Structure formats: C-alpha cells, structure tokens
Amino acid sequence: MSSSTTVKILSLVISASVIVQTTTAGDPDIPSDFIAPDGIPIDGKYFTYIGMRAFVQQSAPPSYFTYMRASKEEFAALDGLSVATIILGFRPRDVSPPHIHPRASELLFVVEGSLVVGFVDTNNKLFTQKLQTGDMFVFPKGLIHFQLNEDPKNHAISVSSLGSASPGLILVPNNLFNTSATIDDRVLALSFKTNVSTIQLLKKALSTPYN
C-alpha cells in the first residue's frame, strides 16, 4: 500500500474519531479520565493499538474483503471513551452486506475508490448515495445500512469511526439465515412470502464466508 494512502488513512481515523466522540458519543459517562485494569501499570502502550498495521503495510490492494475493527474488545483502552474504528477493504464488486450497529452511529470516509452506500430508516425510506474518494457519509445509530463497491476493476478502502466503544454488529443475512440457533424454516418462509426450499437454499449459500 502506498505511503500516501497510509497517511490518508491515519489522518482520517484521527479526525473521524474526534468528530464522532464529540457529536455522537453513545456510551455512559465515566467518573474518571479513562478506565484502566486494577493492578496493572499504565503507560503509553496501554493507549496504543497496533492491530491495523497489517492493513496499512500491505504491498498490494486487498485480495479479499477485509474488515478490521478496533473496539473495546480489541483495544481495552477504548472502554468508556465512546469511540471505535473500522477499516474496510473492498475488492471490485465487493459488498459489506446489510447490517446494524445497535449502539452507535457510524461516520464513514472513503479513502480510495468509490462506494455506493445507504441506510433504511424506521419509515422504510431508503437513503442512498454514491461516494467518491474523500467523501463522508453518516449512518444513524441502529438502522440497517450497507456499502457496495460497484466498480468492476478497482478496489476501494473506507475508514469509519463509531460513537461507542462497543457498537455491536448485527449482520442481517447471517443473523437470519446462518445463526447457531437457526430460525425455523417455516417462520422464515412465511415472513419472506416464499417456500421452505428457497429458505434452505439461502441458508446453504450463507454457510460460506463472504470472502
């Protein structure tokens, strides 16, 4: 990955984190500057996360759909600070399927390429937009949304900050058709006005990763 792309990603992560933390913070206020484990010396390393290095140090665009997250589960220092970050790498014609972050709004930057994005509100109205490199889009908390790289030749990269250290993720297709406790085929068939055999085909298709 080029040095200019790396610089863009890092600068956008910082600016997006500041914007989301000050405008859409969703975690409860904490009575201290930060939350730290008991009995463990705290220095700068505690507030440092290096998990994104693997993405920015790639020498070529992603060869598969890439999803890298820094929430409090991966980066304990974020606990109570109302912010998390996601980097998405899209191959040509890749999709981030319809999903929900139940505890956070999401502010997305397109770092490279272009993306078609959108969300559906509680009145069942679709809001969609094609974004170019440098554009931003906000997904309100708890609403179904998606991102699509419809370009047949070029990859795309986006960086998102979310207004919670634990935004949560409900991946709609997987949660409906590929859960550990599978919803009864008859319930899904009636709900989607189709037949059981179609539901079973969907479950089979979703048993393999999107990558």
Residue 153 has pLDDT above 60, yes or no: yes
In this prediction, residue 171 has a pLDDT band, given cuts at 50, 70 and 90, of: very high
CA angle 95-140-187, nearest 5°?
Answer: 65
Asked whether the beta carbons of 68 and 138 are under 8 A apart, the reply is no
Residue 22 has pLDDT above 50, yes or no: no
Binding site: which residues? 99, 101, 106, 145
Which of the listed ranges 26-30, 60-64, 107-111 does the model predict with the highest average pLDDT?
A: 107-111
Mean pLDDT, residues 182-205: 92
Q: State which CATH number among 2.60.120.10, 3.90.180.10, 3.30.420.40, 3.50.30.10 fits the domain covering 44-166.
A: 2.60.120.10
Domain ranges for the chain: 44-166, 178-210
Residue 111 φ then ψ, to 5° = -90, -40
Residue 182 has pLDDT above 80, yes or no: no
Residue with tokens 């600016």: 15
In this prediction, residue 24 has a pLDDT band, given cuts at 50, 70 and 90, of: very low
> What global pTM score does this model have?
0.82
Give the pLDDT confidence score for residue 21 in this predicted structure. Answer: 46
Residue 165 one-letter amino acid: A
Binding site for oxalate: which residues? 101, 106
Binding site for Mn(2+): which residues? 99, 101, 106, 145
Nearest to 107, CA basis, from 159, 45, 170: 159
Give the pLDDT confidence score for residue 36 in this predicted structure. Answer: 87
Q: Between 90 and 62, name the one with better pLDDT.
A: 90
194 DSSP assignment: S
Lowest mean pLDDT among 8-12, 112-116, 144-148: 8-12
Give the pLDDT confidence score for residue 10 in this predicted structure. Answer: 52
Calpha distance 137→117 (Å, rounded): 8
Lowest mean pLDDT among 23-32, 124-133, 163-172, 189-198: 23-32
Calpha distance 78→131 (Å, rounded): 29
